Every structure is written in structure tokens, then in C-alpha cells.
Amino acid sequence: MFDMNEIKKKKAKRILIQIPEGLKTKVLDFAKELEKNSIEVFISCDPCYGACDLKDREAKQLNCDLLLHIGHADFGLKTEIPVVYQEYFIDFDFIPLLKRNLNRLKDFKNIGLITTIQFTKQLNNVKNFFEKNKKTIFIGKGPNYSGQILGCDASAAKSIENRVDCFLFLGSGKFHPLGIKTNKPVFHLNIEKNKLEKIDSKDNIKRGMLLQKARNCKTFGLLVSTKRGQLKLNKIENIKKILKEKKKNVFLLVMDDITPEKIMGLDIDCLVNCACPRLLDDHRSFKKPILPLEDVKFL
């Protein structure tokens, strides 16, 4: 559940709940618990990609006293109304699944463990299991917890990359393990499919090929997100200036949730991602080159 004491300290009477997709099955229970305490509850049904993606403006429009953001840790953003961050931990026993798949990791002695915030409390149990099976385990420092990675922050993996033979991601969904850009093998202990999977390196973007295609493009669209933690106005202006100097046509495409459907009909040759860096993992669905903003200088 969540810490009702922290919410009571704020003396909030009207709250907007924001929750990631993976926890939406729990949100009605959360709302009921708040309503038992005489709090009026609104539930945000928009996708939530992290603490960079706060709905505090929407909460203010609804005359809420508080935004309850469940599932992520504080990203350090200034907000228009108070925000209570409720980290959500899941008590899942990975050991039975590891026992069934241990043989598939027999060629790897040094293993780096990574996960999302929900499973960080399980890492020590997994570490102990591997050490009993003659493996050497490394857990890097994450944004808030050891071993934790975000969609836009894989520093917990990068910090130990030179010490491991492979990485093992514990959790659900490919979104987070795909964010680890490395030459080392990455395995995913998928609790939804109940099996161990290897992340295909083909899913990583071939930046050189995209850059080559982009050099021949004339009209560029800069993908700009209005999400508070993804809006980089200074960088956007700089990217626009660089492209103009290269005699390119440049348009600023602004939206909250960036999807291919929203730019259909626009005669754009190439896109530059000025929003969440993980948008690049979905480049195929846009059906045109998407460059990370740091690559524009190489055009």
C-alpha cells in the first residue's frame, strides 16, 4: 500500500493519483483507502513514464491539494503543488526461477545485477543465491538504490561494465534492460513470462546508419516534450541553430506523449529526439530516422 501518515501530514482533502502502467491493477484499492480517510480522489489514466512525467499541472487544474505519485522516487523537479512520492516495492521470490535457469548462465562467472526500484530489496537474496553457486556478483550504484536503473539512467550498469561477463535484469518488460547500451550480454529474468530471456543486441539502435541517412535529409522535426522532466529548451535552441547553419529546414514538434500517429501527415525527412532518450528504442515505428540530439553536430 502506501504511507498514509505522510499524506495526512499534508492535510490534503483532494488528491490526484498518478501511477505507472504496471501498477494500474492496484489503483482502485489505493483510491478506496484514501476515500476511507475522507479524501476526494482523482485517478490519472494517462501513461506515466517516471518521475520526470509529473501531472502536477493537471492536479492544480482539478483544484487538488496534492499529487500522489506512486512507483517512482523523487526526480528533483520543482512542482506547482506538493507531491508525495510513494516508492512501491514488490515482494517477489526470484530464487525458484533462478534455480530452473541457472544452467543457462554457466558460462558467466562475473554477473552484474540490475533491476527497477520495485525489486531492489530482493537483490541481496539473489546475490546470496549466486554466491552459493560459485558466481561473483556485482551491484552498481543507482540513482536512489544499489542496482536500480531508470529508463533514462543505466549508470548502475555502466559503473560495473568492465568487471562483469554479463548483466542480469530482474523484473518485467523489456523497456529497462533495452536501455543498457553495452557489448556485454544482457539477460532478463522475466517474471511475467516466467523464464530467462536474452536481450537481442539487434534491438539496439545502429547510430552510424541513422546518421548516414540523416545527412541526406533536408527537413528536420525536433521532437519536444512538454513533460516537465524532459523539456530542455536551451538544448533545443542550440540544436535548431546547428541545423539552420547546415541549411536544413527545422520545425519544432511539441506534444506531451510522443507517438508516431501525432506526426502523420507532416512532410518531415528526419526527426531529432529532444525528449526522453528512450524514445530512440521505438525508432522503427516512426518510419524515418530519429537522431539523439547529441548526434546533430556530426551531420
Indicate if the pLDDT at residue 139 is higher than 60. yes
Domain count, the chain: 3
Q: Are residues 41 and 125 in the same domain?
A: no
pLDDT tens-place string over residues 177-201: 888 888 899 999 999 889 999 987 5
Indicate if the pLDDT at residue 203 is higher than 50. no
Pairing status of strand 166-171 against strand 186-190? parallel
Mean pLDDT, range 68-74, rounded to an integer: 91
Q: Percentage of residues in the chain with pLDDT exceeding 70? A: 96
Average pLDDT, the chain: 90
pLDDT tens-place string over residues 9-65: 889 999 999 998 878 888 999 999 999 999 999 999 998 888 889 999 999 999 999
Task: Tell me which of 86, 120, 143 is where a domain ends.
Answer: 86
Q: Are residues 189 and 146 in the same domain?
A: yes
Report d(CA 285, CA 281) in Å as an integer. 9
Q: Are residues 75 and 102 in the same domain?
A: no
Task: Tell me which of 63, 86, 109 is where a domain ends.
Answer: 86
The enclosing H or E element of 59 equals helix 56-61
Higher pLDDT, 96 or 210: 96
Q: Are residues 292 and 237 in the same domain?
A: yes
pLDDT tens-place string over residues 167-179: 999 998 777 888 8
Q: Are residues 288 and 218 in the same domain?
A: yes
- Find, among 190, 201, 116, the residue nearest to 166 by Cα: 201
Mean pLDDT, range 232-236, rounded to an integer: 85
Mean pLDDT, range 86-113, rounded to an integer: 93
pLDDT tens-place string over residues 260-269: 999 998 999 9
Report d(CA 256, CA 235) in Å as an integer. 18
Q: Are residues 228 and 262 in the same domain?
A: yes
CB atoms within 10 A of CB 158: 15
Sheet strands side by side (includes 166-171): 136-138, 110-115, 166-171, 186-190, 195-198
Beta bridge partners of residue 233, listed in sequence order? none
Q: Are residues 184 and 131 in the same domain?
A: yes
Q: Poorest-confidence range of 128-132, 192-196, 203-207? A: 203-207
Q: Are residues 265 and 199 in the same domain?
A: no
Q: Are residues 212 and 147 in the same domain?
A: no
What is the span of the domain harbouring residue 157? Answer: 95-203
Q: DSSP character for 24?
A: G
CB atoms within 10 A of CB 237: 12
Q: Are residues 100 and 199 in the same domain?
A: yes
Tell me, what CATH number does 290's domain have? Answer: 3.40.50.11860
pTM of the model: 0.74
Tell me, what CATH number does 67's domain have? Answer: 3.40.50.11840
Tell me, what CATH number does 99's domain have? Answer: 3.40.50.11850
Indicate if the pLDDT at residue 205 is higher than 70. no
Task: Tell me which of 203, 219, 245 is where a domain ends.
Answer: 203
